[in-house]
Copies of this chain bind each other. A is one copy, B any other.
């Protein structure tokens, strides 16, 4: 069997298995052995290709974020104006790439890891910055100077609802969360100097 060029295949399989395993056990206590078994190889091989558990997990999150980023970019291409781009960003956050139970569990895990692992923290801050700047860029022409705070709020709301939905045992589809954020966007766009 040992053909050459197995490395990318194995890595991809491990990344996929990592997300799947986290989703299945519903917790962070996934062992390298479990992941490797699910990916059809020995745990030794997983270590061989990735070096360690955290690096396996980081690769999985990097992949998740890449897919998510692609989804956002794709949606943005379709949207002609700032407002519909904002709606697209919001929808993408709760879109199929991000809102599957396994992925939500992975994000939770990732939050925890980011408190101790430098690389995870960097990766997380990249996600935060990207979301914020995407929102900011499209809010600016609509609400001008209030854009910064509005972006902060919308980003917080997206993360918060994502978390709440993810933590409620019964897996929901995210439709209601999207609706809530979209209404919030309307409020931001409409309100110019309340109270």
Given A156-B157, A189-B195, 12 further pairs, Cβ under 8 A: A27-B112, A108-B111, A111-B167, A128-B164, A152-B180, A155-B160, A155-B164, A163-B163, A183-B194, A187-B191, A187-B194, A189-B194
Picked from B114, B155, B162, the residue with its CB within 8 Å of the CB of A167 is B114
* Interface size class of chain A, counting residues whose CB lies under 8 Å from the partner chain: 35 or more
| A interface majority secondary structure | helix
A41 interfacial contact with B, CB 8 Å: no
Oligomeric state, in number of copies?
Answer: 2
A82 interfacial contact with B, CB 8 Å: no
Q: A12-50 interface mask toward B, CB cutoff 8 Å, 1 = contact, 0 = none?
A: 000000000000001110000000000000000000000
CA distance A160 to B177 in the complex (A): 13
B105→A27 contact, CB < 8 A: no
A112→B112 contact, CB < 8 A: yes
CA distance A121 to B190 in the complex (A): 38
Known contacts A157-B153, A167-B114, A186 near B191 by CB under 8 Å:
yes
B149→A180 contact, CB < 8 A: yes
- Chain B, Cβ-Cβ closest to A28: B112
